[in-house]
Amino acid sequence: MSDYDSPQRPPPSPPIASEKITNERKIFFLDLKENQRGRFLKITEDVGGRRDTIMLPAEAFKDFLEALERLVEFESKLSSGDSPTGS
């Protein structure tokens, strides 16, 4: 093993639960996982084989969901032609 080799890591554990969302040319994978630091959501976007991933700790799920719900509501008002600011 050379100085540049990384230490051995255990293989990633399989997800506890998963969801897959397909939208046009994008695929989103939502994997609930767990490691020594706790549970987290791994969100991966795949566009033509190129992947970007974020990890969201379980402690942030509620805040993330609330922010997402606010943005979905805001966007639906934009789509319906209503003023999102109420003016």
Domains of the chain: 17-80 (3.10.450.700)
Share of the chain above pLDDT 70, in %: 85
What's the pTM?
0.76
Phi, psi of 5 (to 5 degrees): -75, 140
Strand pairing class (26-35; 38-47): antiparallel
User: Contact 28/13 with Cβ under 8 angstroms?
Assistant: no
For 57-79, the pLDDT digits (tens) are: 999 999 999 999 999 999 999 98
Residues 6+ apart with CB under 8 A from 33: 12, 13, 15, 16, 39, 40, 41, 42
37-46 mean pLDDT: 96
> Is residue 87's pLDDT more than 60?
no
Q: What are the residues facing 55 on neighbouring strands?
A: 42
Q: What are the residues facing 27 on neighbouring strands?
A: 22, 46
